[in-house]
Structure 1
């Protein structure tokens, strides 16, 4: 456990001390101690910045779309894989659906551009001969559905791993007994399978709420220029452009700290709600 514990201590817990620059006019050349203390001025700046609220709204909408359309799909795929009788077929399908997870976002975005771009396969097959193009990649209205579609293609299979592990722990005797009593596949699913994996689903949902403002930095940064900042700016890219590009380190740190605090509040709240509903949650 030592390497894993050391990783979190050094790169997560000790690094949290750097959040102090959110309260300073941080200048890298003079360091944290030499930078002037400005208190809550950086937070006032981001709360008064219309661009930050655009990024926050885009982030929330994308996160909700991911929870509604992406979160259930690994569960459904895991149930489908678990129902396959032949282990060889199951392993083959698992390998196929896991594979996109190991493809970098650069390649994934390039693939979607080759299919949905102005010169892509979609226009080559369905585009009109009069120069009319099916506008997807540069259409701001298509940005959010496209982000969810890319995420589903890339990580849906990978998300089934924990669900499949929970399904393997369900006692087969329960299925046999219910089948003898006349329960069909849907009743077995509703009364045995879903209740058995419910604690795992609640755990995954709580952890997902903790990352509700993290919607895929690399994926969005690669496509931000094509769709424009009004449609494609999220909090992570806002932090990147404020800090790395424009050098406003204090404002960038304040935005990142604000995002982290919101995520922490959501985790604590969701965990307490889970306890009141009789679930184990993330911690006691």
Structure 2
């Protein structure tokens, strides 16, 4: 489906949401695509307020981007979800069809794969994941496509370890669990995906090996993280959160507007400028 340049609306929802770069990226895409009657906003919405917000949308709405804590809460409000979204029980994209149906999708997973491939990471024999939150499950889903061997997850609790094993079984990934106290060992893997909050990996900087592989740190602010800076200092390849954000947003733009390919370079430039101005 390809929308014409009629007035259409889209937005990102979540709580907190003021920090979101999504409006910058989507608006840059609309400008590049000549969609000057499209608008993209942000709304502070929590789980309790989500049903009323969605029910109140009219036919001018093309889609929604969803961040925490709404990626799972939105599922009961949808008419269908993609296999990708179903695999991790998380929807970050809602597209409204011309007949008014709500279709849920997840662009985090293919966005992560695209960001890795952009940096030449097509396949890996093994990998390590730091953390066990929602982004970690998306990382496992991405690794199910590119990792031939085991994935070791470094977690802080047995319960989180159990959850990661469950996701691994569901996604067909050989997940092995290690305690966070051993996280320094993770950095010797050929591919390390850090999904932890800001500051959580700062204590690992001295553990970066002399010849590191590839680090994918999903944070984009502050950037670089201490771990990413130490990694680059040892000439390791680093993929950052902005790479992920741009790739998943580009896929959202394509699904919402029907225009492909999305203007990835223009979106990245806009994101870089916005971060530099903060």
Please indicate, yes or no, whether the TM-score normalized by the shorter chain is above 0.5.
no
- The structure with the largest strand share of the pair is 2
Q: Which one has more relative contact order, counting CA pairs under 8 Å at least 6 apart?
A: 1
Greater gyration radius? 1
Shorter-chain TM range is under 0.3
TM-score (norm 1): 0.24
